[in-house]
Amino acid sequence: MIRSLQWVAVTVESGGKQVVWARCRVGEKCARRAREQGEKEDRSAQERWWLWWLLLPGCLASWTRYVEEYDSIRVARCDARCGENHPDECVENCLASNYTKPGYCPERTSMTPFEAACLDACVDDSRCPDLAKCCPHDCGITCMHPVGLDNRNDLPAVPENLQIQQQKRNLVLLTWRNGRPGVSNISVNENDNDAVRYLVEERHLVGPRYLESRLSSWTVCHVSTKPHATLRSRLKTGHWYQFRVAAVNGNGSRGYSQPSRPFKTKEPRNPKEPQNLTLSNARLVGGKLRINLRWVKPASDVPISFYKVFWSRLIHGPTNDSILVYHKTILKDKTCYELKNLELKCQYFLQVQAVAVYGGRRLTSRKASKVFNSTDYMAYGKAGLHVRRMNCHCGEVKARLVWPTSGDVDAYNVTWQEESCSREKGSDRRRKSAAWKTVQTSYYDLRQLRNDCMYSATVRNIFKNGENDGHGTSIEFFATGCQGDQKRQKYSRRKAGRCKKSSRSRRQFSGLFVI
């Protein structure tokens, strides 16, 4: 059991090429600890298997540097050559050495046009993948498949009769038979090179129908010292799989077996619903609200094909109410969408659904949902310039602007003006006024704002050398928080006096800065 965990395969994307090998040797101390814990715990076989896999991540991390540099047959050869209890230096030295692969370069008459290309594609056998040798010819040096491997007496035979036994829960047992040696093959000398590693590779495709042209590239999924392998928790639902096996010893390999019969895992389930719906980057543009909706990609047996985003709001009518629903299809690689032209003072119902296409059938998730009140849009504003809070004072709105500080800034120029007002129509619309103020703090309170009116504000940095940053940072916001009849409410004598006094001071203040 412990020895079967000496190897692990992973898949890494590197420059468009899939490299598929990472070697992981479990140390003696690690193995002993796992064995002791397995003996203490009286659990099912599946639970005991999980204990073994808890030991792998730390071990795997020390070997991932081999993934992109060496092919799987070469790594397996070095492991077999160095033996079971070798130090890591032995494997590293073996991988770094110039290794002459078994076999001979083919004759010119048997070369394919690709093999005979006028290229200098390699300098030695170690630069060629798998069994290929670096062969010179009339027009260059290229990697070619060798000949004469059947005549070697120091290589293991190609595995035969690869059988698949599919268990429940996508667990697969692979068995094979050691192939017949070549005519001139005699028993190999009994030394360290007799150790054999069996590389199990798989290729797959997603869908209800098997199409060989759509299969993925071959990738290593398991390595064993025995003529069998159990693949646990590596096969995906709704996929077709095919396997092949290569036997490798310290001298090399004769190549891979014939591919197994293709087989299909169980039917896929619908995707899980998208997770963690969040809102951010709320802002007003032209009096309409824009806000970003984000979500986390859900778990799915087959790849997500696209998402559907729905947003709806309730419209109150004179006789009855209605619901206005919008929807948008989002590409599978995106997990965000900007909602535009939202109305203020409305409640929206937001939904996101994941869709996977399996053959001609759509697998849809449940809709993840979130309720959003556009009146509270400021809570989802940018981390930069934003309105932190609004409150009503004596029938007028006070809003606090907040922005991030900068070390080389001496002061900030704040400019604001009214853009539009929903309660004014036509000739009632008053002249828009602009006001400004220079402050040294990273916030400023805008006062005397009219309720239900749209405002724009800009903050410009004033640097220590007297220059400013030109355009600055701008936002639009909707002043709200006071009831429509606020001015007609009866205040107590103390409150009325306080409002009257502050009103006089504000008129004097605002007169200095209106431009």
- Catalogue all structural domains in the chain, each as residue range(s) with its CATH number: 1-40 (no CATH), 57-103+148-179+194-267 (2.60.40.10), 275-316+323-379 (2.60.40.10), 384-420+435-479 (2.60.40.10)
The answer to whether 372 and 279 are in contact (CB under 8 A) is: yes
Which segment of 2-11, 252-261, 271-280, 326-335 scores lowest on mean pLDDT? 2-11
Q: Where are the beta strands (DSSP E) in 318-408?
A: 321-331, 336-342, 347-358, 361-364, 368-373, 386-393, 396-402
* Nearest alpha carbon to residue 505 among 448, 455, 441, 453: 448
d(CA 368, CA 372) in angstroms, rounded, equals: 13
Integer angstrom CA distances of residue 178 from 47, 99, 157, 396: 32, 26, 6, 89
Instruction: Please say whether the beta carbons of 375 and 348 come within 8 A.
Output: no
- Judge whether 204 and 215 are in contact, CB under 8 Å: yes
What is d(CA 127, CA 77) in angstroms, rounded to the nearest whole number? 15
pLDDT of residue 140: 83
Nearest to 25 by CA among 62, 53, 50: 62
pLDDT value at 512 more than 50: no
Query: Which residues partner with 386 through β-bridges?
Result: 402
506: which DSSP letter? H
Mean confidence (pLDDT) of the chain: 77
Q: How confident is the model at residue 116 (pLDDT cuts 50, 70, 90)?
A: low
pLDDT, mean of residues 482-493: 50
By DSSP bridging, strand 409-421 and strand 453-463 are antiparallel
Give me the residue label for tokens 């056998």: 125
**Res. 39: pLDDT tops 70:** no
Question: Angle 37-42-46 (CA atoms, 0-180°, nearest 5)?
Answer: 85
CB atoms closer than 10 angstroms to residue 183: 7
Q: Which amino acid is at 334?
A: K
pLDDT at 481 over 80: no
Under DSSP, the state recorded for 227 is S
Residue 412, both tokens: 């900030």
CA 375 to chain CA centroid, Å, is: 33
Give the pLDDT confidence of 241-268 residue by residue, as tens digits: 999 999 999 999 999 999 999 988 889 9
- How far is it, in rounded angstroms, from Cα 377 to Cα 479? 12
The lowest-confidence range among 13-27, 207-221, 392-406, 454-468 is 13-27
Lowest mean pLDDT among 27-41, 275-289, 449-463, 496-510: 27-41
Per-residue pLDDT at 495:
52
Q: What's the pLDDT band for 27 if we cut at 50, 70, 90?
A: very low
pLDDT classification of 61: cutoffs 50, 70, 90: very low
Cα 280 from Cα 282, distance rounded (Å): 6
Task: Write the pLDDT tens digit of every residue in 157-215.
Answer: 999 999 998 777 768 889 999 876 654 444 444 444 568 989 999 999 999 999 999 99
167: exposed, middle or buried (C-beta count within 10 Å: 0-12, 13-18, 19+)? exposed
| Environment class of 250 (CB within 10 Å of its CB; exposed 0-12, middle 13-18, buried 19+) | buried
Q: Which of 34-43, 84-93, 372-381 has the lowest mean pLDDT?
A: 34-43
For 306-320, give the DSSP string. Answer: EEEEEEEEEEE-SS-
For residue 335, what pLDDT band results from cuts at 50, 70 and 90?
A: very high
| Strand locations in 43-139 (E) | 133-137
pLDDT digits (tens, 9 = 90+) for 401-420: 988 887 788 899 999 998 88
